[in-house]
Every structure is written in C-alpha cells, then in structure tokens.
Chains A and B, each alone.
Chain A
C-alpha cells in the first residue's frame, strides 16, 4: 500500500473512533441533525483550510486567512448597506479582491525571495487594518437575498438540515481535491513542496505557480468570508481572529506534512470535522469548560505529528 495514505487512514480511524465513543456516551449524537450542524458550524473553517492545504502542500504558509475572512464580512456588509449594488455583484467583487490580494502576496514572496511567513504576516496586518478602516463596529446584513441564502437548506433523512453553506464547503473540498490531485497545477504544487531546486530543474514555472497558490488561498479565504457572513449575517472587523491557526491545525491533523509535498485535501476535511467533534462533545457534556477544546486540539496535534514522524521513519518517503 502507498505509505502516503497511512496518515490519512490514521486520521480517518481516529475520527471514526472518537465519533463512536461520543455515540456510546450520547446516543443522540448519531442523528443527522448533529451531523448537519457539525458541517454548518465548521463550513467557513473548512473552506479556509482547503486553501491552506494547497499552500502547505507547496511548502508555504498563509497567515492572512483569518484577517481576510473578517475583511470579507465587513466589505460585504458595508457595500450592501451603503451602495445599491446587487448582492451577487458585491460577492463577485469581493472574490476578485481577495484573489488579487492573495496573488499580490504570492508575487511579493517570489519577487522579494522572502519567506511566506513574513510576507503573509504583513498581509494579515493589512487585511485586518482594511477591515477596521471600513468599519470599527459590527455591521448587520439585512439584505433579503442574503437572508434567503442563510435560510436555504436541504432536509436530510432524520430531519437534519444540510445548510447551503455546508454544501458550499463540501463542493469546495471536491474542487480542492481535483485541483490538488488531478491537475498540472496540483502536480506543480507538490513538486514545489518537494523542493524548489528540484522543481525548477523539472521545468515547473516557479513564479506562476507561487502566485497561483496564494491566489487560490486568497479566493478560498474570500469564499470562507462569504460563508461566515451568511452564517453570522453580520460583518465584524474583530471576527475570526486566529482562524489561520485552526486551519493550519486542521491541515496537520488531516495528515498533510507541514514541510510540504505530501498530503490530501480530503484529510483536511476530516481534520476540520475532528476539531468540530471535540467542540460538539464539550457542548453535549455541558460540564467541561471551553478551554479543554484548545488543550485537546493541542494534544491531538502532538499525537498526529508523532505518528507522521514514525510513519516517515518506517516507510520510504
């Protein structure tokens, strides 16, 4: 068997095992209502984490996603409040903006030969700052079209609601998986993650790929921002602080190597769901304090990193 599949397999096993334990303790967690909520509540994180997966597969990192999500929410809210533009045009404008923002960061990373860590850190300040400039208060969104997006859902068997935003997340996973694993661009990303010198020698267009990678992450962060705006029906510049960390954690738990070059987009979905499951368990339990979420996620990270380390030592790279 392909040893690269082992981390993904381990992640899936741990998720199923954790879910089984949850069901044993709280049988009602098996219902499609819980599953629907799990997908809906984590939709924005999942979408952002898919963009992050592609960035990390290339050996980079994008610290700006949390700020871009907040900026997106404020942008949508302010545009819908202050202009007469149709909502769909606002969303298209926003996606063009965040994609361009990501592309600019990718361009700077390549042009300046600076580590992505520092360049996207500046991007994080900039996006958060622009969100403040647009508004320092929370801006409600009462657009009827937006309300209809929020109310849209598909009733699953067992009365669970699969909301539109959960559907967007699942579709993004599919698109992300196709892009990362079935296109030439995806192959270039993997090659870049394996090592830039080798990728260059193989004829990978480094500049174009780098720009596209961060543009993709910017697009996904913008989409996550739209989903978050639908989810909360407001734009707030202080929202989603630190989401980039959760996204990175989800990617690592999902079995992607942080050094780049190896991993699966589907794993990230399972990573996000595992983190969501911990939160759901704490809500169901009722007596555990919220800080246990962070401690358990930290413990899970530790476990998965050790596991990857062991697998790397056992199997050929």
Chain B
C-alpha cells in the first residue's frame, strides 16, 4: 500500500478538485435496476484503458512497449461485428475476436523475442498496418449490428453494475492473482531487469516475452469488443484511436518505470481511473470541451514532475551525485 500512496493521493486530489467544482460528483443512486452516478460512469468508461493498461503493465515490465493495442482493438471489433453480421452467432464472434487479438499479440511477441527487434519498432508495424486490416474487414464502412447478446458486453449491467466495469475489475484481479501468487510476476520482472542474465539463469525468455505480448493482445481484444458492443457497430477508423497512449500514460502514472522491472497492476489500474476521472471531471465541471486536452496536458506534466526521479533527488538528497539519465523508452 505504501508504494501506491502517490497514486491514491493523486486520485483523491483529482476527486476532491472535481467535487469542489461540481458538488454532486460523488453521489450514486439506484434507479431502474442499475446504479447511476459519476463514479459508476468513470468505472464504466474507464474500462478500455484499464484493460489495455493491464496488458501494457506486463509488457512494460519486460522493458517493452506495445503501440499496436489501439489498432488491435479496431481489428477485433471489426472481426466480431463481421461475424455477427454474417450470422455466425455470438460464440463465433467472441471466439474469432479473441483469437484475432491473440494472433496479433503472438505476431508482436515473435518480432520482439525471435527477431530481436526493438519493441517500439516491432509494434509500430501493426499500429500502422492494423487499421488498414480492420478497414479491410469492414470494407471501409462502419459495420453496425443489432444483437442483444453482444451489446450486453458494452451497455448491459449485472446487479446494477455496468458489465464493462465488472470485466476490467475481474481481469485485473485474475491477472494480479496469477502473476503474484505464482513466480510468473517475478520472472517477468527478471526479464525486464536483465534479459541476458535471466536467460543464463535458465529462464525461457522468449516464451515469456511472447506470452506478455499475447496477453496484451488478448486484453486489447476484450477492450475492442466492449467499445464495439457499446456503440453497436465497428468503426475501423476510430475504435481505440490513441488509446495505446492513454494506456501507456496510465502505466506511467501508476508508478511503473518504462525501463522495466518492478511493476504493479493495481497501480496501473489506479492510473487508468485517474485519467478517466480527469476526463469525466472536466466534462462535469462544465469547462468548454476545447479545454479538455490543455487541462489534461497540464495535469500530466504535474504528475510527471511529482514522480520524476531527478526532482526527487534535488529535493530529498541534494548531496548525492546525479544518476545517469534513463535511456529512451522501448530500448
């Protein structure tokens, strides 16, 4: 908990700040069999970024980065809509979409692990080509569908809680348990800290690397399904557009180093909620929507300053010699 203190404080500060401007922010009501209120809305709208952030955390922990997740969301949404429109049923749609996501993840993982290409470059390929592939699937149109089963994933609710929120919370809990209750998390951190030493210590680095990109692809597929189900249509151009950047931001705000190693999935999820609270808060506070990006940029810089290793050194330990600046992300 102590490690996550900055994130919890930031989230609390954001919520207090919004509550000052918009007093009814924290109220939640129960009407028409579902919970209604801004916090519930944040939990629901934050689902895609939260899901992407889980996979991105693991990828970044191996000192990688996955730029393609937004495009993978578009591909998987397009595949699901295509299967539904083609009358193949919900099972086929979900199976094909998740399969497509995992396939994209394996492709990224193989480029990184087998060919030894820098992650930022390897995933750039799918980021550029992926939207083309998604458009190929939808033939350049927005594929709309009316299928209650699939739409339930995006806009339904269980026991009053929106389904997308349940999905990301469950995904985060399961992934967190798997990596922390087994040695898997430790092994992923080992690869991030020193791939060569991990290999020499007997770790199958390649399989592990492919696995984390596969997981990132799988979660991107789920995120793509949620977005597609929510708007009941696959928009190859806009589904998941720039969400990879929000996901990376969530991971960084969550206190994870882009240089790999120690990671916290809970931190990244808090980061995702901070971002979504900022987005929702700016809207609720009634600022003209033109100011959204400016305020977001300002907050990002402030959060970065608070977490900067160099500034912390300047204020806390003025006499210690400065450490070498970290190398570029994705190295």
Closest to B302 in A: A122
Cβ–Cβ contact A293 & B248, under 8 A: no
Q: Which of B97-105, B113-121, B188-196 contacts A (4 or more CB under 8 A)?
A: B113-121
Any B CB within 8 A of the CB of A271:
no
Residues of chain A within 8 A (CB-CB) of B148 are none
Complex CA–CA separation, A36 to B140 (angstroms): 30
A63 to B67 alpha-carbon distance, docked (Å) = 12
Neighbour of B297 across the interface among A60, A123, A260, A289, CB < 8 A? A123
Q: Mark A253-277, 1 if CB is under 8 A from B, else 0.
A: 0000011100000000000000000
A282 to B21, CA, bound (A): 52
Contact A125 B129 (CB under 8 A): no
Q: Is B300 an interface position by the 8 A CB rule?
A: yes
B290 sits at the interface (CB 8 A): yes
A297 nearest in chain B by CB position: B128
Enumerate chain A residues within 8 angstroms of B245, measured Cβ to Cβ: 63, 121, 124
Which chain B residues border A43 with CB–CB below 8 Å?
A: none
- Given the known interface contacts A114-B304, A118-B304, A295-B129, the answer about A129 and B324 at a Cβ–Cβ threshold of 8 Å is no
Write out the residue numbers on chain B whose beta carbons fall within 8 Å of the beta carbon of A60: 328
Residue on A nearest B311 in the bound complex, by CB:
A112
In the assembled complex, which residues on chain B have CB atoms less than 8 Å from the CB atom of A197?
324
The answer to whether residues A114 and B308 also contact, given A60-B328, A129-B294, A248-B124 and a CB cut-off of 8 A, is yes
| Interface 0/1 of B110-151, CB less than 8 Å to A | 000001111011101111111111011001100000000000
B331 touches A245 (CB 8 A): no
User: Is B184 part of the binding interface, using a Cβ–Cβ cutoff of 8 Å?
Assistant: no
Our pick among A133, A245, A306 for the contact of B290 (Cβ within 8 Å) is A133
| CB of B242, distance to nearest CB on chain A (Å) | 8
User: When chains A and B are docked, how far (Å) is the Cα of A291 from the Cα of B136?
Assistant: 7
Contact B297 A113 (CB under 8 A): no
B329 partner, pick from A118, A126, A196, A301, beta carbons under 8 A = A118
Type the 1/0 row for A115-132, where 1 means its CB is closer than 8 Å to any CB of B. 111110111111011101
- Whether a CB of chain B sits under 8 angstroms from the CB of A154 is no
Q: Are A293 and B132 in contact (CB under 8 A)?
A: yes
Contact among A117, A132, A133, A259 for B118, CB-based, below 8 A: A259
Q: Are B128 and A133 in contact (CB under 8 A)?
A: no
In contact, B132 and A301 (Cβ under 8 angstroms)? no
Chain B residues with CB under 8 A of A130? 294
Q: Are A113 and B128 in contact (CB under 8 A)?
A: no
Cα separation A248 to B330 with both chains bound (whole Å): 15
A292 near B132: Cβ-Cβ < 8 Å: yes
Pairwise interchain contact A112-B305, C-beta atoms closer than 8 A? yes
Number of interface residues of A (CB under 8 A): 52
Contact B310 A113 (CB under 8 A): yes
The answer for the CA separation of A112 and B303 in the assembled complex, in Å, is 11
| Interface status of A26 (Cβ within 8 A of chain B) | no
Chain B: interface secondary structure?
A: helix
B326 touches A115 (CB 8 A): yes
A290 touching B325 by the CB < 8 A rule? no
In the bound complex, how far is the Cα of B258 from the Cα of A119, in angstroms? 13
A-chain residues with CB within 8 Å of residue B297 when the two chains form the complex: 122-123, 125-126, 129
Docked Cα-Cα span, A291 to B237, in Å, equals 10
User: 8 Å CB contacts to B: which residues of A55-102?
Assistant: 59-61, 63
Please, which residues of chain A bring their CB within 8 A of the CB of B26? none
Name B128's contact: one of A126, A128, A129, A294 (CB within 8 Å): A294
* One of A112, A117, A129, A305 near B292 (C-beta < 8 A): A129
Nearest A residue (CB) for B301: A122
* A111 at the binding interface (Cβ < 8 Å): yes
CB distance from A237 to the nearest CB of B (A): 8
Contact in complex: B129, A297 (CB < 8 Å): yes
The reply to whether B294 and A126 contact each other, CB–CB distance below 8 Å, is: yes
B293 within 8 A of A: yes
Residue of B nearest to A136 (CB): B290
In the complex, the answer to whether A129 meets B115 with C-beta atoms within 8 Å is: no
For B252, the closest partner residue in chain A by CB is A118
Closest to B325 in A: A113
- Which B residues are CB-close (under 8 A) to A258? 118, 120-121
CB-CB nearest in chain A for B331: A259
- Report chain A residues within 8 Å CB of B129: 294-295, 297-299, 301
Q: Does A159 contact B (CB under 8 A)?
A: no
Contact of B117 with A126 in the complex, beta carbons under 8 Å: no
Question: 13 A-B residue contacts at CB 8 Å?
Answer: A59-B327, A60-B328, A113-B309, A125-B293, A125-B297, A126-B293, A126-B294, A132-B290, A258-B120, A294-B128, A295-B132, A295-B133, A306-B115
Q: Measuring CB to CB, which residues of chain B are less than 8 angstroms from any residue of chain A?
A: 65, 115-118, 120-122, 124-133, 135-136, 139-140, 236, 245, 248-249, 252, 258, 289-298, 300-301, 304-305, 308-311, 324-331
Seed contacts A111-B308, A291-B131; 4 additional CB < 8 Å A-B pairs: A115-B326, A117-B258, A291-B135, A301-B124
